[in-house]
Structures are given as C-alpha cells and as structure tokens.
Amino acid sequence: MRILFLSRWFPHPPSNGSKLRIYNLIKGLSKNHEVTLLSFTESIVDTAEMKKFCPEVKVVPWTDFDPTRWKARLGIFRLEPRSIVDTFSSEMAEAITETLRADKYDLVIASQLQMAAYGPRFRHIPSIFEEFEIGLFHDRAFSSDGTKLRLRYALTWFKLRLYLSRILNTFRACTVASKREAELLQANFPAYRKPISVIPNGVDLDEYRNFAPPKKDNTLVFTGSFRYRANYEAMLWFVEKVFPLILQHLPDTRLFITGDHQNLPLPSQKNITLTGHVDNLKTLVASANVSIAPLLSGGGTRLKILEAMALGTPVVATSKGAEGLEVIAGEHLLLADTPADFAECVIRLLADGQSNRGLAKNAFQLVQEKYNWDTMILDYLRLIEIVAR
C-alpha cells in the first residue's frame, strides 16, 4: 500500500512527544508499506534518517501562530479557530495537491488538528485523522479561572466544535491516544459514526535497553517544551508550590527541565537547570532519581512518563498527568494532586532506594506489556487495511 503521511512536526530527531509518536508510527508502517512523508519543519533539517523509512520526504516551512498577525486578527470573524486560520499554509496545500497529482496513493494519514485542516485536498482518497485530541481545549473552556479567560476559551471551544463538525466526515477513521479522548469525540460529535481507534502513545523498547548511567543523588527531571502550554503551567505550579517543600527536607535537590522554554519566567531559579534541547535526553532521564509529571491540564497520554518508565526512572505524577495510562498508583508510579502530597512522594523516592527500584521494575514491565510500539503497530496496520479497503 502507498501511504501519504502528513505531519505538523518533522519527526527526527524525536525531541518531543508528538515527534516521537510520529517517528515510531512511520517506522512501523514502513515495514509493510511504502510511506511518503510531507511535513512542516521549523528549521533546516537533515532528512537522511527519515529517508531510511520513506523513499520520498518533502518539507514545508512552518510559521507559528501569532495573534497579532492580520490573518489572526481577521480570524475573529471566521467560524474556524484563529490558530487554524493563521497557520494554514497555501504552500503546504499546494504541496499536497502536487504530490497527489504526481503519484497514486491508497491512503492519507493526517497527523493532528493542523494537518486535518487540509482534508479538502485529499477528500477523494481514504484517510485517517491521526491523533485527534481536544482534551486541552475542553478543559480550558470549562475550568479556566477568570471570566475574561473563560469566555475566550469558550469561544475557541465553540469554533473548534463547529470546525471539526465540518471536516470530520472527510476521514474514514480517527485515532486517539486515550480512552478519554475517544469519549470526548463521541460525546461532542455524535454524528461521526466511523471507526475510532485508541492507539496509545508508546516507546520502542529496543532504543531504551542500553541506558544505565549512574544515578545522580537527589535529582529530578521534567521533560517537556514550554511551547505546549500545559507543560509551562505544570512547572509554574511545581516550582512555586511543590519544590520549596522538597528543598526544606533535601536542600541539595536539583531539578532539570528540558526542551524549549520560550524565555517564559518561573517563580524561582533556585536549584533549577533549564537545559534547553538535550542531545542525550535518554541519559539525562536515566540518571535522574525521579521523573515528575505534575500536569494540571491537557489530553492524550504522557510520553514523558512512558520514556522514564522505559529508562528505569520512577515517576511521580498528578492524576491529570497520568491520565490515559493504565497504571496502578503505588505499583507503577506515585500519584499526588496537592503540593504537600506531591512533595512527600518525591521525598519518599529520593530517600528510599528500595521503593525507588520496586516502582521502576514494575513500570518497565508495564511498558513492555502494554506500551511497546512493536505490539501497538499491529493494531494500526489492521486499521489502515480496513480504511483503505
């Protein structure tokens, strides 16, 4: 089968959760099918790695949403969310049209909301909306503090539902990363009667087996770019309300925060290292004593948790942070939703090596059984056969 894969993120290097999912998907699909990758890119990239899996790789420059741009301002009067209006690329639309005109494809996979926007360009070809996700928009619309902020998010939610109602039927199937996202899709778009497949995020365990650096005493790690607002909100909460409680008991504890920080401020810089992009991220996570996921909003499933589990680093998360994962608190990770409880869980793992090792062992087994791409890609292969047929 010939597949055209449309991606908002250029998947290599797989430096965030979205890129990692896309990279593993393409890698798995390419074992049985011929995949062409057409991707946005935010900088000059080396396509050599992706050409190992895709005979043809094409890239188009991505421009971030800017609410001050004229397209975004005029988007106030459109029924689509302003971010969709502002980031829609005529160059990408033309590239899709030219690619489909030049060759025959059996299936189009459009990854995430930004690529689903080009649905009219491939309406005549069987297609999948890959990783449909609206949990973050839903949570903001119904739980934001402040009347002005709530009204703004409510308007975005209203426009998003209208927009998705129009484009969903372009697709013969949707994939979601968690059962909650599937429930939100069914509840908000009951007219969509086509297959909805839960394909969780996962890891390729073969790429994680040989990372066993020495643990650095009293080190915490958070992996996640602040470009994803939920990550920044998580760190604001943790640094302001949780980390000071940890430092009271263990003053030499250090926190490493990876990814693009967008020059966004934190309440304190004490014992905190903002690493930016890290080439050896697996080594950093594997050498930490505890990986934290104190998320308060968002959807999908947390690859940062699965990666830490695959690398033998125990995890402390909020209930929202672990949402979508089939985990048991106290067996696979520790869960806490208040600053005091979160700090207590971190301190316990830093002080108790036996608990630390026990959680890490159980977590690795969970990833091996339920979140290994070698297993999950089989479900995806069955889905694309159904859709293309």
Lowest mean pLDDT among 131-135, 223-227, 277-281, 378-382: 277-281
Alpha-carbon span 237 to 297, nearest angstrom:
12
Task: Pull the structure tokens for residue 337.
Answer: 């939703």
Q: Determine how many CB atoms are found less than 10 A away from the CB of residue 119.
A: 19
Over 80: is that where the pLDDT of 86 sits?
A: yes
**Amino acid 151: pLDDT:** 86
List Cβ neighbours of 201 (8 Å cut-off, separation of 6 or more): 17, 20, 21, 177, 300, 301, 302, 303, 306, 371
Place of tokens 């504890």: 253
The packing angle between helices 339-351 and 353-370, to 10°, is 100
The percentage of residues in the chain with a pLDDT greater than 90, rounded to a whole number, is 69
By the 10 Å C-beta count (0-12 exposed, 13-18 middle, 19+ buried), 149 is classed as: exposed
- The burial class, CB within 10 Å (0-12 / 13-18 / 19+), for 63 is middle
Query: If pLDDT is split at 50, 70 and 90, which confidence band does 44 have?
Result: confident
Q: Under a CB-based contact definition with an 8 Å cutoff, are residues 116 and 110 in contact?
A: yes
Judged on CB neighbours under 10 Å (0-12, 13-18, 19+), 50 is buried
pLDDT tens-digit readout, 199-226: 999 998 888 877 778 889 999 999 988 8
Return the CA Rg of the chain. Answer: 21
Indicate if the pLDDT at residue 180 is higher than 70: yes
Average pLDDT, the chain: 92
Q: Are 122 and 100 in contact (CB under 8 A)?
A: yes
When pLDDT is averaged across residues 31-37 and rounded to a whole number, the result is 96
49 — pLDDT class (breaks 50, 70, 90) = very high
Q: Compute the distance between CA of residue 9 and CA of residue 16 in angstroms, rounded to an integer.
A: 9
**pLDDT at residue 377 above 80?**
yes
Cite the beta strand spans of the chain per DSSP E: 2-7, 34-41, 56-61, 107-111, 127-130, 173-176, 196-198, 219-223, 254-258, 272-276, 290-293, 315-317, 334-335
The answer on pLDDT for 361 being more than 90 is: yes
CA nearest to 299, candidates 169, 166, 145, 131 = 131
Strand duo 334-335 + 34-41: pairing: unpaired
Please name the residue that has the structure tokens 């979140």.
371
More confident residue, 143 or 347: 347
Looking at residue 297, its pLDDT comes to 83
> What whole-number distance in Å separates Cα of residue 87 and Cα of residue 70?
12
106: confidence class by pLDDT, cuts 50, 70, 90: very high
The segment with the largest mean pLDDT, out of 76-80, 118-122, 225-229, is 118-122
Does the pLDDT of residue 101 top 80, yes or no?
yes
Contact by Cβ (8 Å): 141, 149: no
Do 221 and 291 touch, CB atoms closer than 8 A? yes
Taking the CA of residue 196 as centre, how many other CA atoms within 13 Å lie in the half-sphere pointing to its CB? 21
pLDDT of 145 higher than 80:
no
Contact 233, 297 (CB under 8 A): yes
- pLDDT computed for residue 52 by the predictor: 95
Question: What per-residue confidence (pLDDT) applies to 214?
Answer: 87
Closest by Cα among 113, 149, 151 to 129: 113
pLDDT at 140: 83
Q: Which residue has the tokens 């290994």?
A: 372
Query: What is the pairing mode between strands 196-198 and 254-258?
Result: unpaired
**Rounded mean pLDDT, 179-185:** 94
Would the pLDDT of 186 be above 90? yes
Mean pLDDT, residues 307-311:
94
The more confidently predicted of residues 135 and 58 is 58
What CA–CA distances, in Å, run from 89 to 109, 196, 253? 18, 28, 45
For residue 93, pLDDT over 70 is answered with: yes
Give the pLDDT band of residue 299 (cuts 50, 70, 90).
low
Q: Which amino acid is at 205?
A: L
Distance of CA 303 to the CA centre of its chain: 7
Confidence of residue 146 (pLDDT cuts 50, 70, 90): low
Least reliable range by pLDDT among 102-116, 279-293, 329-343: 279-293
